[in-house]
């Protein structure tokens, strides 16, 4: 269960970072 939560948080944080840098590079 802990591994699932860690994986979920990692995916969420990774998505936010990807979106942030993606927006910076595109604009």
Q: What is the DSSP string of 13-24?
A: HHHHHHHHHHHH
What are the pLDDT tens digits along the chain (27 aa)? Answer: 899 999 999 999 999 999 999 999 887
Q: Note the pLDDT of residue 9.
A: 98
DSSP 7: H
Burial class (CB in 10 A: 0-12, 13-18, 19+), 12: exposed
Q: Looking at residue 16, what is its pLDDT?
A: 96
The two three-digit tokens of residue 14, written as one number: 């990774």
Note the pLDDT of residue 26: 83
Predicted confidence at residue 1, as pLDDT, reads: 84
pLDDT of res. 27: 76
**Helix (H/G/I), strand (E/B), else coil: 27:** coil
pTM of the predicted model as reported, rounded to 2 decimal places: 0.60
What is the C-alpha end-to-end distance of the chain, expressed in Å?
39
Predicted confidence at residue 25, as pLDDT, reads: 87
In which domain, by residue range, is 27 found?
Answer: 1-27
């Amino acid at each position: 269960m802990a591994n699932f939560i860690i994986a979920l948080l990692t995916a969420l944080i990774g998505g936010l970072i990807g979106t942030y840098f993606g927006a910076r590079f595109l604009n």
